[in-house]
Amino acid sequence: MPNNIDRGLLVVHDEADGTTSLSICAKVVHGAPTDVYAKYNHASQVSIDGDVHLTRQGHSRYTHEIVEVINEGQAGITVRYPRYDEHPPA
């Protein structure tokens, strides 16, 4: 079971050390996150579903649509489009 699920627009930044930082936000302006409410810094394992469309802006990539960012602890972070047919855990 996931530890944490955040939903929103996503900005992905590839770090110089080979890790990835993610910002979940309400708005993206010129590729930069605005109104950030969740952040994952220097994640080493990030899996982005192939159907998630990312637009490149410099060293960053971002979504135009809301995605789910799932922190799965030791297994890493998964990014996907929301799946409304799934029921949340009780």
Q: Is residue 25 part of a domain?
A: yes
The answer to whether residue 88 scores a pLDDT higher than 70 is no
Instruction: Please state the domain count of the chain.
Output: 1
Rg of the chain, C-alpha, whole Å: 13
Instruction: Say if 89 falls within a structural domain.
Output: no
Residue 71 has pLDDT above 60, yes or no: yes
Return the pLDDT at 85.
72
pLDDT of residue 2: 45
The amino acid sitting at 4 is N
Q: Is the sign of the CA dihedral 41, 47, 48, 54 positive or negative?
A: positive
Is 11 a member of any domain?
yes
Owning domain of residue 24: 4-80
Tokens found for residue 16: 């110089």
For residue 46, is it within any domain? yes
Q: Does residue 35 lie in a domain region?
A: yes
Per-residue pLDDT band for 40 (boundaries 50, 70, 90) equals very high
Q: What is the mean pLDDT of residues 16-41?
A: 94
Position 74 in a domain: yes
